[in-house]
Amino acid sequence: MNTAEIAQLLRLEVALDLRQRAAWGGMLLYVVSAVYVCFLAVKGGLGTATWNALYWIILLFAAFNALSRSFQREEGGRQLYLYTLADPRSVVLARTLYNGITMMVLSLLSLMFYALFLGSEVLSEADLPQFLLAVVLGGIGFATVLTLISAIAARSGNGLGLMAILGFPLVLPMLLAVMRASKLALDGVAWSVTSTYFGGLLLLDVITVTLAWVLFPYLWRD
Amino acid sequence: MKHWWWKFLAIALLLVASIAALWVPLSPALVHVSPGRIAPGEVVIHVTGYNTRFSPDMRVFLENDGQQVCASQVEVIDARHARIVMNVPKGLRASMTDLSVQGLRYPGAFYNDDLGDGIESAPCGNVNKVDMASLAFTFPNRSILYESIRNLHFHVPMWFTMIALMGISVWHSIRGLGGNSLERDRKAVSAVHVGLLFCGLGLATGAFWARATWGAFWTNDVKLNGAAVTALIYLAYLVLRGSIPDAHKRARLSAIYNVFAFMLLVLFLFVVPRLNAIDSLHPGNGGNSGFNDLDLDNRLRLIFYPAVAGWVLLGTWMYDLRQRSARLRELIEQ
């Protein structure tokens, strides 16, 4: 494992995704459709709690949709080829990093659409930097947990169906913590209260990445 | 005898703990006092006790800010009901008044708004304070919990046992990570099967306890969410196994998921509740005490620890049988 290799792999990810614009287009369209369905279903203004809950539910499903394809690419020969070229630990770190960035962008974009359709009055009383931090940390948290899960699901041979079953219980506690943090941020609670949550979320992220780093090599070889 | 002495120990512990958990009576307590409000003058009070033995010569008094008012007349209806006549003087200092009957205290029994600078108070009688009932071995009698406190010896050991079994499972998964050992895999999945059984029992005993004390079978609570997540994780583990036909691949992938999920689960069960625990109802969370502060809690512990040991041993025994029968099934199939 070295940083040059990780950077190289990261560049490969970006290049591949730029080549397949449809992938990003699909993710965005999924979020926009979900937001629009919510807009149609919810008539009238939403309270802070409901606004927050609905946003995180949309983001949760967007994360499953976006990250489930993260290891679908490597089928058979390509996986073997990558295996001979790169250290598996570099692969998992690069992919977690890339997924983290993806989720960060995706969660901010979906927030934009969400505020556009479902109203941003809720945000007027919020501590905005705190809320954005919660959104970003939540997105990255989903990415760290779901990267290894998507690898397991992909290796098992029936990726998409299994992904939700395997990933949901592991993401749920993180979802609860991040929902609460963002609710507090929306209520404009002081940093001294919310910092515990942010610290806890960061700790969870670090431990999850470490676990993925330890376990991935066993998954990678056949 | 050398190898299976612990199975006898498990049976003995379980028998003793379970019988004791159901047999031991609750300590006497006052459960209902009416009216809830007193004013200076003659007041008639009806007291209902639980497991009490009221007697006409029992000592009854009000206690207000350290000052005592003795009962002027005590009429015992039966062992659990009494009618008490009090002559409440003017000038009680505090608004809340405790009632003491036969050494049993009902704190904050009465509210009185006619306050003054205190009364002339003398201790009421000198009846020996130790009641016969309090010498017997009893469980604490707590309002809301009442008889359901016995469930402590069933509900909590289920979760201890489940964690122990999942620990056995993850231990075999970690050891099996290096080579695709089918033996390790068999042991890991057998432990999960038995662990899920205990998870189900823990959920069931917990649901009935919650219904009795909180009024609902399921509430939104960090502890309960942790339990739900645990059940979902291990059901997902079984689904993952079911979806992979190749035995070696199944062993490897499920071991990785098991290790990953268990480590995160430990974090979720023991770290996240610290974050979200502010509004938990569950004992041991969110400022609620566990059962440590219960008066003479050593009486509970004396039964609780053997119960935990017995259930954990029973779970381990079941796991052993399960993995051996799985091995036999494999041998027959070959």
Average pLDDT per block of 10 residues along chain A, 222 residues long: 83 84 86 91 82 92 87 71 81 90 92 88 84 90 91 82 89 87 87 83 89 89 68
CB spacing of A177 vs B275 below 8 angstroms: yes
What confidence tier does B295 reach under pLDDT thresholds 50, 70, 90? Answer: very low
Give the angle subtended at the CA of B56 by the CAs of B73 and B32, to the nearest 5°: 75
| Nearest-CB residue to A211 (from B232, B252, B260) | B260
Q: Hey, which of B5-9, B38-42, B283-287 has the most confident mean pLDDT?
A: B5-9
**Residue B285 distance to chain A (closest CA, Å):** 16
First vs last C-alpha separation in chain B:
32
Average pLDDT over residues B100-129: 76
Chain A residues inside the 8 Å CB shell of B238: none
- The per-residue pLDDT of chain B, averaged, comes to 85
Percent of chain B with pLDDT over 70: 88
**What's the rounded Cα separation, in Å, for the pair B3 and B311?**
19
CB spacing of A169 vs B233 below 8 angstroms: yes
What confidence tier does B281 reach under pLDDT thresholds 50, 70, 90? Answer: low
CB spacing of A211 vs B259 below 8 angstroms: yes
Which pLDDT value is given to residue B13?
A: 94
Q: Which amino acid is at B294?
A: L
A213 touches chain B (CB under 8 A): no
| In the predicted structure, residue B134 carries a pLDDT above the cut 80 | no
Average pLDDT over residues B49-66: 85
Average pLDDT over residues B304-316: 94
* pLDDT tens sequence across A38-85: 888 887 678 888 899 999 999 999 999 888 877 777 666 777 777 777
Query: Backbone dihedral region of B290: left (phi > 0), alpha (psi from -120 to 50 degrees) or beta?
Result: beta
What residue segments make up the domains of chain B, in order of their start?
A: 29-135, 146-333
- Of the two residues A176 and B296, the one the predictor is more confident about is A176
| In the predicted structure, residue B88 carries a pLDDT above the cut 90 | no
Closest CA to A186 of A123, A109, A139, A118: A123
CB spacing of A180 vs B275 below 8 angstroms: yes
**Helix or strand run (H / E) with residue B69:** strand B67-76
Which pLDDT value is given to residue A43?
A: 74
Ordered DSSP codes for chain A: --HHHHHHHHHHHHHHHHH-HHHHHHHHHHHHHHHHHHHHH--S---HHHHHHHHHHHHHHHHHHHHTTTTTS--THHHHHHHHHS-HHHHHHHHHHHHHHHHHHHHHHHHHHHHHHH-SHHHHTS-HHHHHHHHHHHHHHHHHHHHHHHHHHHHHT-HHHHHHHHHHHHHHHHHHHHHHHHHHHHTT--HHHHHHHHHHHHHHHHHHHHHHHHHHHHHH--
| Nearest-CB residue to B260 (from A148, A177, A203) | A148
List own/partner pairs for B311-314 with CB under 8 A and 24 or more apart.
Answer: B311/B14, B311/B157, B311/B158, B311/B160, B311/B161, B311/B198, B312/B157, B312/B160, B312/B161, B312/B164, B313/B6, B313/B7, B313/B9, B313/B10, B313/B13, B314/B10, B314/B14, B314/B161
Q: Which of residues 52-81 of A touch B (CB under 8 A)?
A: none
With tokens 């070889």, the residue in question is A221
B229 touches chain A (CB under 8 A): yes
| In the predicted structure, residue B296 carries a pLDDT above the cut 50 | no
Contact B194, B238 (CB under 8 A): no
**What's the rounded Cα separation, in Å, for the pair B212 and B207?**
9
CB spacing of A169 vs B226 below 8 angstroms: no
Which pLDDT value is given to residue B285?
A: 57
Which pLDDT value is given to residue B297?
A: 66
**Residue A205 distance to chain B (closest CA, Å):** 10
The CATH architecture to which B29-135 belongs is Sandwich (2.60)
Contact B100, B125 (CB under 8 A): no
CB spacing of A200 vs B226 below 8 angstroms: no
Q: Which of residues 171-210 of A touch B (CB under 8 A)?
A: 172-173, 176-177, 180, 196-197, 200, 203-204, 207-208
